[in-house]
Amino acid sequence: MDIIVCVKRVPDTSEADVVITGKDIKKDDLPFEINEWDNYAVEEAVQLKEKFGGTITVISVGDEDANEVIRRGLAMGADEGVRIYDPAIEGSDGVTIAKILAAAIKNMKYDLILTGAQAGDLGEGIVPVALAEMLGIPHATLVTGLEIQDGKAKVKRELEGGLMEVLEIDLPAVIGIQTGINEPRYVSIMGIRKASKKEIKLLGLGDIGLTPEDVGEAGSLTVLEELSVPPVTKVAEIIEGDPAEAASKLAEILKEQGVL
Amino acid sequence: MSEIFVLAEHRNGELRDVTFEMLSGARNLADKMGATVTAVLLGSGVNEMAEKLKSYANKVLVVDDPKLENFNAEIYQKVLSKLIKDHKPVVTLIGHTAFGMDLAPALAVELGLPLATDCIDLDAVDGRLVVTRQIYSGKVNAKVALKGDQFIATVRSGAFSIEEGALNGEIVTESVTIEDVPYRRFLGYEEAEVGEVDITQADYIVSVGRAIKDQENIPLVQELADVLGGVLACSRPVVDKNWLPKDRQVGSSGKIVKPKLYLAIGISGAFQHVAGMKDSGLIVAINKDPKAPIFNVADYGIVDDLFKVVPVLKEKIKEIKG
Amino acid sequence: MDFELTEEQKDIAKAAREFAEGEFDKDYAMECDQEHKFPRELVRKAGELGFIGVHYPEEYGGAGLGALENALIVEEMCRVDSTLGLCIALPDFGCEIIKWFGTEEQKKKYLPKVCSGEWISAGIFTEPDHGSDITELSTTAVKDGDEWVINGTKTFITNGEIADFGVILVQTDPDAKPKYRGMSTFIVEKDCWEAADVGSKMGIRATSTAELSFDNARVPEENLVGELNRGFYQVLEFFDESRIEIAAQALGTAEAAFDRTMEYIKQRELHGKKLAEFQITRHKIADMATKIEAAKLLTYKAAWNFDNGRRIDPVLTSMAKWFAARTAVEVADEAIQLHGGYGYITEYEVERIYRDAKITEIYEGTREVQKNTIASGLIGKL
């Protein structure tokens, strides 16, 4: 089975002070990593390959820095890496990123495409479902369980309230992977050694039959206008002091509030 | 007069809250755009639901067909795209839910319409839709403008509060020929396994997030829950890492809880989590990051390392409780 | 001149960090520290992923990489946790001697098992009467037929109680003048010695440090490593390489103290102001960061020099080891100072980091020994 996994390199803002500069945030000091959802997608692909054989191609849209997450995918067990880039892609919205991926993927051989259900930076959740529509193949997103049998995928989609939707779709298909579907492995030194011997194929817009007008702000139907710090609607009363003091004060407050 | 479509979301015969939230939000938007609000209800045997929607919309557009009984993104897409082509609504709103996420992007691509997802606010500027959405784990708001004259947006659960409707929309039924989609078959719903603890019934909840770092540290917070006479719950990453079972998860993809006390420990407060606990009586958060969004829903907060605070807190509560 | 690490080197550092962040647990580290417990399972896991012994050739279970890649792993691991990180760095202790001087059979038998995390080795050099000075030894090996018979006592042997085997330096020619021209190294397996813990240590308490007694221990001729009577020189060369690893340990430990401090000063408030706003704090942070950067450059340069086939430069490796170790102790000291009373409490980690840092100024050559090496290299014979 030949699998394509789409990955994205994102800044980790979970513990950082985010500083807005124009239409972006300051990223120089932020650690970057593979999008968490994509990491689960790569692991899922590697487990499928271990079971059924075949190849895995990791693909990413982005500048040279994106190679880092492609190499990570190769180190986890993927066979080939592809990066698509042109300066014109800056400012592309989610649908346009899907368009770029579709243009590259339609000429490739695949039985299954895996992506993260969403990305930790922009959180749009557009790519898997839009990509499937463009390629004219079935899809399912927010998938927390995946079984492949007889050219079909039995998937469990995570709904709200702890409910799962179970469905069967024909392959090839695009599956948007939800976190928790598996336990992603660590990158091993042996994996890194293998990955560093592989060349990552670079595709420009011309290689995939697109022009600069098709991508970026020009090719997108949505445009980012402005970033701002979310207005604070409510702020917790912060209990000051060292941990022991604060904990004691909190215990008193809980008593006063009648919850103890 | 142009219309705003709001796709009604329902499961097992029940309309979901997000439907009424969107209809409430759509009314404001409709005023700005000089449009009317149409609730679009696709399903099988949905008369009762249609009646419920009447007071929230100027019109309830119903397609009633056995093939629409269970949500199937591909079938819904076919019906919805036909309705949009026929009626040309200026805006189509869909919930940013497991249902909407599986549907909206494909619909937008098929129709060639702009799509903004997970919106928390909707505005109209010169007849265009301008949305607000949150990026970078809720730390930044982004204003996004949609091009053209027809738009699709998915709306975050809880983004709008439900305002009782005073309208009396007409119920209009249309029939649409629905092709089969043999390549996607609905097999059923599955409930997550239920363990020995039902967190939705607890008065006191100690809830723990990613910052607990390791399964070996779970007893630390379990003990705090025990001292309080409450139960231990958690946010999504803890379940993803298998440190606690799925039935302990609070949030939109887990359980909705309303305890007297919700003690959020090492939880950053992603909106999916907040959606599951924001109506708790007293909310207390302990987190190292003073900018964590959890402090915007909590009543009290301690900005510090949970590993330093929790042991002392446990002892103090023990003392007070005697 | 290019100060950039290669992509592969960056990937390696990142992978080591991910592993450490995922697997190291503060409470477990405290437990290992307090209860003097070696994290055996963690070492096995690290070995399976290839984090142990990357600087051994691939045919012997390593990754065919160099001292720099090994240093990057050790640094990252120690940066996440000085106590547990060190335990991942130590299992191959002494094996570089087998790598450089051993026979094909020796390399095949011992190195792969060490690199995979299954076996642990020990470098058995120091003696109670002679300390770090290995120009004189009391431990002897006497030939008896096809075997050598070893007698004597070695002390402060890292991994002593947990090692599966080790490389021992012994006197094989008692008449050699000077004595060090009659020393040889042998591979000894754990049934050759009796190990006794040296007692409660200040830091690196998760590791075993033991006294090993050899009482008529017999090893076959094939366990001789390299040429007879060349052991002293082998061990000196070993130290030239291993000092780089200790420098990396010190560097990572310094960074560990620094990271904890940065987090603390941004959080802790005094008189309504964050600690980080006080000029005295800011200057201390500037001092710490500058020293760490200098230690990093020296350590990386020593490693790079070693890997790029230059003449082994004991002056440079000693400088790196001495300076990085001093930096670790100074930075950890300031870290405690900035934490105030809390810095003295176990819960806040910096006290453990401080205790873990101190050893780097002592083992594998005290800072005085390093200075001797640097000075002899520079001044030469008068």
C31 touches chain B (CB under 8 A): no
B206, B221 in Cβ contact below 8 A?
yes
Contacts of residue A234, defined as CB under 8 A and 6 or more positions apart, other chains included, come to B296, B297
- Does A68 contact chain C (CB < 8 Å)? yes
Q: How many CA atoms are closer than 13 Å to the CA of A61, on its beta-carbon side?
A: 26
Q: Does residue C116 lie in a domain region?
A: no
Among residues 154-213 of chain C, which lie with CB inside 8 Å of chain A? none
- Mean pLDDT for chain A? 95
Picking from B214, B221, B308, B312 by the largest number of C CB atoms within 10 A of its own CB, the best residue to mutate is B214
Q: Are B174 and B62 in contact (CB under 8 A)?
A: yes
Tally of domains in chain C:
3
CB-CB under 8 Å, B249 with A162: yes
The domain spanning residue B132 has which CATH number? 3.40.50.620
The DSSP call for residue B321 is H
* Same-domain pairing of B215 and B161: no
Number of domains in chain B: 2
Q: Are A139 and B188 inside 8 Å of each other by CB?
A: no
Hey, how many other C-beta atoms are within 10 angstroms of the C-beta on B57?
30
pLDDT tens track for B98-117: 999 999 999 999 999 999 99
Q: Please tell me whether residues C266 and C362 are part of one structural domain.
A: yes
CATH number at residue B227: 3.40.50.1220
> pLDDT tens across C181-238, in order?
999 999 999 999 999 999 899 999 999 999 999 999 999 999 999 999 999 999 999 9
Tell me the angle at which helices C314-339 and C231-267 cross, rounded to the nearest 10 degrees.
30
Q: Are residues B205 and B123 in the same domain?
A: no
Q: C349 and C306, same structural domain?
A: yes
Task: Mention every residue, 6+ apart, whose C-beta is less than 8 A from residue B284.
Answer: A236, A250, A254, B261, B262, B263, B264, B298, B299, B300, B301, B302
C277 and C259 inside one domain: yes
Q: Give φ, ψ of A223 to 5 degrees.
A: -130, 130
Instruction: Say which DSSP state B3 is in.
Output: E
The verdict on C141 and C257 lying in the same domain is no
Q: Which residues of chain C have pLDDT under 50?
A: none
- Burial-class residue A254 by CB neighbours within 10 Å (0-12, 13-18, 19+): buried
In a domain, B180, yes or no: no
Q: B239 and B314 share a domain?
A: yes
Determine the residue of chain C that is closest to A197 in CA distance. Answer: C8
Q: Is C364 part of the annotated catalytic residue set?
A: yes
**Could you tell me which residue, A59 or B137, shows the higher pLDDT?**
A59
Whether residue C359 sits in one domain with residue C269: yes
pLDDT at A102: 98
Mean pLDDT of the region B214-229: 91
C101, amino acid identity = F
pLDDT tens digits along A10-66: 999 887 888 999 999 999 889 999 999 999 999 999 999 999 999 999 999 999 999
Residue C172 belongs to a domain with what CATH number?
A: 2.40.110.10
Report angle CA C296, C297, C302 to the nearest 5 degrees.
100
For residue B143, list its beta bridge partners. Answer: A226, B132
The whole-number pLDDT of residue A173 equals 98
Nearest residue in C to B302, CA atom: C267
pLDDT over 90 at B26, yes or no: yes
**Alpha carbon separation from C349 to A252, B11, C39, C201, C346 (Å, rounded):** 29, 51, 18, 17, 6
Q: How far apart are CA C382 and CA C380, in angstroms?
A: 6
pLDDT at C310: 60
B125 and B248 assigned to the same domain: no
Question: In DSSP terms, which residues pair with C301 in a beta bridge?
Answer: none
Q: Torsion-angle region of residue A209: left (phi > 0), alpha (psi -120 to 50) or beta?
A: left
Q: Is A228 on the interface with B (CB under 8 A)?
A: yes
pLDDT higher than 90, residue B267: yes
Using CA atoms, how far residue B213 sits from B217, B266, C353, in Å, is 7, 9, 20
> Which range of residues forms the domain containing residue B169?
2-173
Residues C261 and C293 in one domain: yes
Hey, are the CB atoms on B308 and C28 less than 8 Å from each other?
Answer: no
Q: Kindly give the pairing relationship between strand B282-287 and strand B261-265.
A: parallel
Domain span at C132: 121-230
Determine the pLDDT at residue B198: 85
Q: Is the pLDDT assigned to residue B194 strictly greater than 80?
A: no
Write the burial class of residue B258 (CB in 10 Å: 0-12 exposed, 13-18 middle, 19+ buried).
Answer: middle
Q: Which of B37-46, B245-254, C160-169 has the lowest mean pLDDT?
A: B245-254
Tell me which residue in B217, B304, B308 faces C27 most closely, judged by beta carbons.
B217
Contacts of B286 (CB under 8 A, 6+ apart): B263, B264, B265, B266, B301, B302, B304, B306, B309, B310
Q: Do B288 and C25 touch (CB under 8 A)?
A: no
A234 touches chain B (CB under 8 A): yes
Count Cβ–Cβ pairs < 8 Å, chain A vs chain C.
Answer: 49
Distance CA B274, CA B251 (A): 6
Domain boundaries, chain A: 3-219
Query: Is the link from the previous residue into C178 a cis peptide, with omega within 30 of 0?
Result: yes
**Residue C343 has which token pair?**
């810095």
b/e B281-301 (16+ beta carbons within 10 angstroms → b): ebbbbbbbbebbbbbbbbbbb
Domain of residue C311, CATH code: 1.20.140.10
Selection from C3, C15, C21 nearest residue C73 by Cα: C15
Q: How confident is the model at residue B289 (pLDDT cuts 50, 70, 90)?
A: confident
**Whether B127 and B215 share a structural domain:** no
Domain A3-219 sits in which CATH superfamily?
A: HUPs (3.40.50.620)
B233 in A contact zone (CB under 8 Å): no
* Spatial distance between the Cα atoms of B50 and B15, rounded to a whole number of angstroms: 10
Q: Is B209 in CB contact (< 8 Å) with chain A?
A: no
Residues of C in contact with B288 (CB under 8 A): 263, 267
CB contact set of C164 (below 8 Å; sequence gap of 6+): C113, C119, C120, C121, C189, C190
Question: A167: which residues sit within 8 A by CB, 6+ positions away?
Answer: A140, A154, A155, A157, B72, B184, B185, B186, B187
Rounded Cα–Cα distance for residues C221 and A257 (Å): 79
The burial class, CB within 10 Å (0-12 / 13-18 / 19+), for C269 is middle
Helices marked H in chain A: 36-52, 67-76, 94-105, 127-135, 189-196, 216-219, 243-256
In terms of domains, do B40 and B162 share one?
yes
Q: How far is residue B108's CA from residue A50's CA, in Å, rounded to a whole number?
A: 36
